[in-house]
Structure 1
Amino acid sequence: MSTTSPTSPTRTSNRTWWIVGTIGVAAMTALAIWFGIAATSGKVHWVNTGFDVISDEQIDIRFDLRRDSSQAVVCDLHALDEHHGRVGTGQVTVPPTDESPSRHIEPLRTASRAVSGYVDTCTYADTN
């Protein structure tokens, strides 16, 4: 007599669901990674690195850009007063450069004394 037992239907069913589940999770993970890379590839990325209040009429805004260095970039700058009201807005065009990331300091004129300044958005100049 043989002592081996045939595989039970319940055991086979559980194994099938584990395989299907593992394949599903792997496919969804790959899809999420693909969407993440596709959403950020070729875009302008900026990091606000600080500001210096120069006077009641000017603030210097510091930021770093990571982008296709062969293209010009347009950035929107904003300055806020102590009540979070906007006291300065402007645009700056950053020309193509040999390196990315690159560091920038841009002056912004203000209507009254600003207490903070930042880059709101940056886009490639040809998309404006």
Structure 2
Amino acid sequence: MTTQAQLDDRYGRTRSPRRRLLGWTIVAVLALGAIGYLGWTTVASSAASVTATDTGFTVNDDRSVSATFQITAPVGRAVACALEARDEEHGTVGWRVVQYPASDEHSRAFTETIPTLSLATTGFVNACWVP
């Protein structure tokens, strides 16, 4: 009676060490490529990221609110921010998009007035981005 190993030897179904090494080399190259790609996309996306921190707001009157905030953005890049005003029921009563030119400073502080349709109870930065 023949065993599976004898049949594999007879019909050439065994893997040579060279072929096994080639398979592991391909796996290693693909793994390193995937790690490199993920690392590059992480660095590239964080290089253009903008963060905004609300530092306060002032209700001016029934038709406007001022929002004070600080942005941290890449040096030498223009920034745009969407500002929002809400009423006591959390409904949006005002909205404004402002654009700031490129600057040599990494962090900057601003106070902007948001026109509203009715009395607002808060004003804040909804989002900032590099246009």
Same fold (TM over 0.5): yes
Report the AA paired with residue 81 of structure 1: D
Tell me which residue corresponds to 1:54: 60
CA distance in 2, matches of 1:48, 1:42: 20
CA distance in 1, matches of 2:87, 2:51: 26
Write the deviation string for residues 50-106 of structure 1: whole angstroms up to 9, x where unpaired: 111111111111111111231111101110001111100110001122312100111
Structure 2 SS opposite 1:40: helix
TM-score under structure 1 normalisation? Answer: 0.65
Question: Which residue, out of 64, 69, 74, partners 2:75?
Answer: 69
Tell me which residue corresponds to 1:96: 102
Distance change in 2, residues 1:95/1:46 (3 Å): same
| 1:42 pairs with 2:75 | no
Distance change in 2, residues 1:41/1:98 (3 Å): closer
Report the AA paired with residue 88 of structure 2: E
| 1:115 pairs with 2:108 | no
CA RMSD across the alignment: 2.2
In our comparison, the structure showing a higher alpha carbon Rg is 2
Report the AA paired with residue 89 of structure 2: H
Structure 2 SS opposite 1:60: strand
CA distance in 2, matches of 1:74, 1:54: 23
Question: Unaligned stretches of 5+ in structure 1?
Answer: 1-33
TM-score under structure 2 normalisation? Answer: 0.64
Question: Which residue, out of 68, 79, 90, partners 1:84?
Answer: 90
Q: Determine what percentage of the aligned residue pairs are the same residue.
A: 32
Report the AA paired with residue 101 of structure 1: S
Deviation at 1:46, TM superposition (A): 1.0
CA distance in 1, matches of 2:102, 2:96: 20
Tell me which residue corresponds to 1:21: none
Structure 2 SS opposite 1:114: coil
Report the AA paired with residue 102 of structure 2: P
